[in-house]
Amino acid sequence: MSNSSHKLGTKFIHAGTVPDPSTGAIMTPIYQTSTYVQEAPGVNKGFEYARSQNPTRKALEEALATIENGKHGLAFSSGVAATDAVIKLLSPGDEVIAANDMYGGTYRLFTKIFAKFGIKFIYVDTTDIKNIQAAVTPNTKLIWIETPTNPLMNITDISGVAKISKAAGAWLCVDNTFASPYLQNPLDLGADIVMHSSTKYLGGHSDVIQGALIMNDDALREQLFFIQKSCGAVPGPMDCFLVLRGIKTLHVRMKQHCENGYVVAHFLRNHPKVERVYWCGFEDHHNHDIAKTQMRGFGGMMSFTLKEDSIDAANKVLCATKLFALAESLGGVESLINHPSSMTHASIPREERIKNGLADGLIRLSVGIEDADDLVEDLKQAIN
């Protein structure tokens, strides 16, 4: 089992897993069971019914806590289910300050599901934390940020926002999906909750849908565990096994995502047909200085626009790549290309999208861990 003094690679490989006490199996078994036999009513081994507890999920939840330097982890059936659980901490009349640039499904959950239950969402440009401060009211209960954001790679100062949330008596939740715990640990910077779409870098192989929450506070863990078991959006044991296995290679994969991301971002920036590249590793990226202090690298996620600003021109590129597969999602070993305005962010009204800088022709890349030269060649033949 890993401990807090271990370096990242050791931590990712050993987090949450111990040899199985009954057989010595080095990998945590997939406990494919719905219930557990009790010795007498209320006398059990800590497991009663698998919606509440499962040993494979327990190992994963311990691993999640370890890799985010937190005390508690909770696994959910998707990233959106993890977000859903956080908002269920709130009551009608409570206010949430959220980023105006974030994953479209988060925006949809807030506006189309929770707003009708009387929770108020205020969207601001969180890259300038003064906008967050200005939006605080006595009803502010939660500040929700994503950094870097999907898809514009905007960076928000986590420790700056944590000071505001503490003074306001509100929770700060950071969606850390894009950075992964290899690049950034929001709890260390003062956040109360870290959220992940484990579907992405944690799983890493495009074979599972899952979400995670990590926190330090015992009472907050109890509230979120209560929501997890009461609402029931729990992942199955096989999926927990897959994410546990994914975490073991996170550092190796992320190193390569960062290296390839650097090469592809610079190739695009120097391409005569490319107008703008959004990647937080560029020194002239707005808030690059903040990214440098809160992240250990800049990853393989980026977006770009073409000089010919039309959906047709974007579509031509989106359909021409051979290695970059046209698909939603990100963070897997294989490279993906995506059109946010018609795919991942289609649930945001066009007017809102354009206002927040998400152009119709924006193309998003999840740079995988293939050989960078091949990825560059693929983009070269697609953008011609």
Which range, of 21-29, 101-109, 225-233, 368-376, touches ligand PLP by CB under 6 A?
101-109
- φ and ψ at residue 143, rounded to 5 degrees: -115, 125
Smallest separation, CB 304 to ligand PLP (Å): 18
Q: In terms of DSSP bridges, do strands 140-146 and 171-175 run parallel, antiparallel, or are they unpaired?
A: parallel
Nearest Cα residue to 1 out of 66, 73, 53:
66
Query: Hey, how many other C-beta atoms are within 10 angstroms of the C-beta on 54?
Result: 25
Least distance (Å) from ligand PLP to the CB of residue 150?
4
Question: Is residue 200 flagged as an active site residue?
Answer: yes
Closest by CA position to 206, among listed 369, 27, 14? 369
Pinpoint the alpha helices (H) of 88-212.
Answer: 104-108, 129-135, 158-168, 180-183
Stretch that binds ligand PLP, among 98-106, 119-127, 184-192, 374-382 (CB under 6 A): 98-106
Interface with ligand PLP includes 311 (CB under 6 A)?
no
Q: Applying CB under 6 A, does 150 fall inside the site for ligand PLP?
A: yes
Are the CB atoms for 360 and 346 separated by under 8 Å?
A: no
Q: Which residue is nearest to ligand PLP (CB)?
A: 79
Q: Which one of residues 211, 246, 300, 368 is an interface residue with ligand PLP (CB under 6 A)?
A: 211
Alpha carbon of residue 363 to chain centroid: 19
Element at 291 (helix H, strand E):
helix 288-294
108 is an active site residue: no
Q: In what order do the strands lie in the sheet with 336-338?
A: 274-278, 301-306, 363-366, 336-338, 325-326
The region of 21-29, 103-111, 113-121, 251-259 touching ligand PLP under the rule CB under 6 A is 103-111
Residue at 115: amino acid letter: A
CB of 312 to ligand PLP, least distance (A): 26
Q: Which of 20, 36, 51, 316 is catalytic?
A: 51
| Residue 209 in contact with ligand PLP, rule: CB under 6 A | yes
> Distance from CA of residue 284 to its chain's centroid?
24
> Hey, which residues between 36 and 95 contact ligand PLP (CB under 6 A)?
78-80
Stretch that binds ligand PLP, among 42-50, 170-178, 181-189, 335-343 (CB under 6 A): 170-178
**Is 146 among the residues that bind ligand PLP (CB under 6 A)?**
yes
Q: Among 126, 197, 335, 356, which residue sits at the site for ligand PLP (rule: CB under 6 A)?
A: 197
**Region near ligand PLP per CB under 6 A, out of 99-107, 156-164, 299-307, 349-357:** 99-107
Beta-carbon contacts of 210 under 8 Å, excluding residues fewer than 6 positions away, are 75, 76, 77, 78, 79, 197, 198, 199, 202, 203, 235, 239, 240, 243
Q: Which of 84, 175, 239, 378 is catalytic?
A: 175
Q: Give the whole-angstrom CA distance, residue 304 versus residue 151.
A: 10
The first and second tokens of residue 143, run together, are 């500040």
The nearest distance, CB 228 to ligand PLP, in angstroms, is 15
* 118 CB burial (10 A radius; 0-12, 13-18, 19+): exposed
Q: Considering 103, 107, 182, 201, which one is annotated as catalytic?
A: 103
Note whether 192 binds ligand PLP by CB under 6 A. no
Could you confirm whether 350 is annotated as catalytic?
A: no
* Contact between residue 184 and residue 295 where contact means Cβ atoms under 8 Å apart: yes
67 vs 173 by CB, closer to ligand PLP: 173
99: enclosing H helix or E strand: strand 95-99
- By the rule CB under 6 A, 105 interacts with ligand PLP: yes
284 is catalytic: no
160 touching ligand PLP, by CB under 6 A: no
- Least distance from C-beta 76 to ligand PLP, angstroms? 9
Binder of ligand PLP out of 177, 180, 185, 294 (CB under 6 A) = 177
Q: What is the CA radius of gyration of the chain?
A: 21
Contact segment (CB under 6 A) with ligand PLP among 102-110, 225-233, 240-248, 352-360 equals: 102-110
* Annotated catalytic residue within 57, 200, 245, 353: 200
Active site residues: 51, 103, 175, 200
The residue ranges that bind ligand PLP (CB under 6 A) are 78-80, 103, 105-106, 146, 150, 175, 177-178, 197, 199, 209, 211
